[in-house]
Amino acid sequence: MPRATCGRFTIRELWDKGPSMETSIENGCLVVRIPLESPPRPSSTGKTLLVATTGGNVLTTAKVDGKAITLGLNAYVRKDAAPA
């Protein structure tokens, strides 16, 4: 039976990543804690290296006016950037 996918990720991979991301509202700021990719992996175009990603839009546990916040996050570095 084929595995369900969402973009490049299986549904299971997204589910596994989702619970490991933490969100909260602190002092009027949305705080996101998400695991870093280790090592960073190439983006779909190969121009950048993904450092952290939600793999698309995901519902969080953080709420505004009683409504869950949806978050889509991609953190990356340029592949050709020199180390600082």
The structural domains of the chain, with segments of one domain joined by +, span 5-78
pTM: 0.67
Each residue's pLDDT tens digit, 37-76: 888 989 888 899 999 988 889 888 899 999 999 999 999 9
- DSSP secondary structure letter of residue 47: S
Terminal CA-to-CA distance of the chain, rounded, Å? 47
Each residue's pLDDT tens digit, 18-39: 457 889 999 999 999 988 888 8
User: Side-chain half-sphere of 72: how many Cα atoms within 13 Å?
Assistant: 2
Separation between Cα atoms, residue 68 and residue 58, nearest integer Å? 10
CA 27 to mean position of chain CA atoms: 23
What are the CA-CA distances from residue 41 to residues 4, 33, 45 (Å)?
22, 19, 11
Separation between Cα atoms, residue 35 and residue 19, nearest integer Å? 11
